[in-house]
Amino acid sequence: MPIAISYPGGYIEEIPSGGRAIVGVATSITAFIGRALRGPVDEPITINSYGDYERIFGGLWLKSPMSFAVRDFYLNGGSQAIIVRLFQDVLPQIAEINANGLTLEAAYPGTWGNYLRARIDYDVSEDKAADFGLQETDLFNLTIRDTKTGETEQFRNVTILESPQQINKVLENRSNLMRVYKSEFPPDLPFPNKTNRPDKHDDPASGNDTWENNTLSSPVDHEASDGEILTKDAFINDKEKNKEGLYALEKADLFNLLCIPPHELEGDIELKGDIESDLIGVAAKYCEDRRAMFIVDSPANWSNKKMARDEIINIGTKSKNAAVFFPRLRQPNPKRSNQIEDFVSCGAVAGVFSRTDVQRGVWKAPAGLEASLVGVPQLSVPLTDMENGELNPLGINCMRSMPAIGPVVWGSRTLQGNDRLASEWKYIPIRRLALYIEESLYRGTQWVVFEPNDEPLWAQIRLNVGAFMHNLFRQGAFQGSTPREAYFVKCDKETTTQNDRNLGIVNIVVGFAPLKPAEFVIIKIQQIAGDIQT
């Protein structure tokens, strides 16, 4: 703002440059939704490795196709994932422990909680009690152990009474294993139902295992279940208003790829099955709203080229933000002595997307000889060139086994990639590049809101958006040898009329010339007839 002049002499005024760097968003944060062995329910949890998944969600589980998809994601180069665990049951069962008068429950539903034990002791600090304005006899220590994993938590100098160490608040904020049963601390009462600390457990004698003796620690006295097999109701019906199921992702700031592995099981042990076609349609629409791509798995009954060709029309969507990959993967199952079984491909394909983004950029098709599938010895349906040639024009992305390389992703079309549709969003890299630009510019132009809507603002917009687009041009994201051929940014009195300004609208028009993947390589060979004299 202008300097207020008050005395004779020199003044210094700093003039803002108008430069506001637009930072490109991430391109391959992948959301997975499905069953897991343990962990928070209907909450998007960000992880950065499969080790994080094992620690929070329990690792591979035969009833969770999602756990294998997440494993494949990280095997194939995935970086960051968002996990939404769903739990479906008529009456969700949570393991409970009566620890000598203090009722505890597992932090999350599932049979994992059946292995918890709790122990109370009175080895407390008199000084801590004085700091809280309590008596030493008001405090106790609580130790919780997961006897299956060996994870142990200890909370010292806690109390039933109102204080910074009130046990229900301590567990809610610091424990990954247990919570105080809700009826112990009703939300509508200022004080808990109990005022006395729970009784302590016996002191362990030499040679006794604290976590096997019921006088030394308390076991679960109300066991839990793992819930029922998921259906579409766990994802979409009446879930949006409470941000549950698919809509739990509303609590996540950004995701770029969505994977919903099968949730129906054929029998008790087969990791097959499909998600419902109407769930696919809703999920694809949600991805359009969130500027993300939905990776759709081919149905289990696509056992040959003919099934894929005839059934693609029933997949559930023709969204430009969705792509289907065929066939499924044949991999060893470490939970069944490495027997070879069929698994869905969404996790591995998402990993290839992520790896390609890092190595080449979001504008490079995540397909070709570089798009090899790690940890995949073979595919469920081997395809020939001719079969691939029938499926590719229908928008079905095939995976092929190539000599000396093995299985690779060999297609890069969206579900609008059917040649008959003649869609401008035929190719995955073009669609993903557009989504990347849209999301980056949407976030990078928020400062424009409430600024004076006139030429100085338009000039700043052209400067900042143009700098962002030029950086992409320099990285090779567009066609053309010059910026003029590759992109344009327009924001002036032609794009924003006086009526727009009266309505509080500023219009920014951005165009770019996308790089289309070379699907067909044609080599023309001609013999030279020799030096013929004419």
409-435 tens-digit pLDDT: 999 999 999 999 999 999 999 999 999
135-172 tens-digit pLDDT: 999 999 999 999 999 999 999 999 999 899 999 999 99
The secondary element (H helix, E strand) that includes residue 510 is strand 509-512
386-404 in b/e form (b: 16+ CB < 10 A) is: ebbebbbebbbbbbbbeee
Question: How sure is the predictor about 1, in pLDDT bands with cuts at 50, 70 and 90?
Answer: low
Q: How far apart are CA 507 and CA 492, in angstroms?
A: 8
pLDDT above 50 for 318: yes
- Integer CA distances (angstroms), 182 to 185, 199, 219, 439, 481, in order: 6, 20, 19, 41, 66
Q: How far apart are CA 249 and CA 255, in angstroms?
A: 8
**Span 197-213, average pLDDT:** 84
Strand, coil or helix: 112: helix
Q: List all residues 6 or more positions away from 431 whose beta carbon is below 8 Å from its beta carbon.
A: 293, 320, 321, 414, 425
DSSP category for residue 37: S
More confident residue, 286 or 18: 286
461-497 tens-digit pLDDT: 999 999 999 999 999 999 999 999 999 999 999 999 9
Strand, coil or helix: 47: strand
Q: Sketch out the chain's domains with CATH numbers.
A: 30-88+228-430 (3.40.50.11780), 96-219 (no CATH), 447-534 (no CATH)
pTM of the predicted model, to two decimals?
Answer: 0.91
Q: How far apart are CA 359 and CA 44, in angstroms?
A: 27
Q: With pLDDT > 70 as the criterion, what percentage of the chain qualifies?
A: 93
Structure tokens that stand for 56 in this block:
């929070």
Closest CA to 352 of 76, 7, 9: 76
Question: How sure is the predictor about 186, in pLDDT bands with cuts at 50, 70 and 90?
Answer: low
- Cis omega (within 30 of 0) on the bond before 327? yes
Question: How sure is the predictor about 269, in pLDDT bands with cuts at 50, 70 and 90?
Answer: very low
pLDDT at residue 263, rounded to an integer = 80
Q: List all residues 6 or more positions away from 55 whose beta carbon is below 8 Å from its beta carbon.
A: none
Lowest-pLDDT choice from 68-77, 112-121, 208-217, 327-336:
208-217
Q: How far apart are CA 288 and CA 290, in angstroms?
A: 5
